[in-house]
Amino acid sequence: MGHETKPTARQVVKKLIADDGWTGFYRGLGPRFFSMSAWGTSMILAYEYLKRLCAKDE
């Protein structure tokens, strides 16, 4: 078991930008945004559907 130190987030970001530039830093942002948007939309729709389904008629 070694006692290697893990790089900090700042070091990782600096190395990523140095190696691949800003395009490398933002790589995958589009697919991640689409994925998170799809999940968020489906969760809101499911919540609203269940809320209306469980609401009592007055």
The predicted-structure confidence for 10-58, as pLDDT tens digits, reads as follows 999 999 999 999 998 889 999 999 999 999 999 999 999 999 999 866 5
The predicted-structure confidence for 19-29, as pLDDT tens digits, reads as follows 999 998 889 99
**Pairwise CA distance, residues 19 & 13, whole Å:** 10
Residue 20 located in a structural domain: no
Contact 15, 7 (CB under 8 A): yes
- The total of structural domains in the chain comes to 1
Q: Residue 57: what pLDDT?
A: 64
Contact 25, 18 (CB under 8 A): no
Residue 36 located in a structural domain: yes
Residue 38 located in a structural domain: yes
Q: Residue 39: what pLDDT?
A: 96
Domain that includes residue 37, residue range: 30-58
Residue 57 located in a structural domain: yes
pTM: 0.56
Q: Residue 32: what pLDDT?
A: 94
Residue 55 located in a structural domain: yes
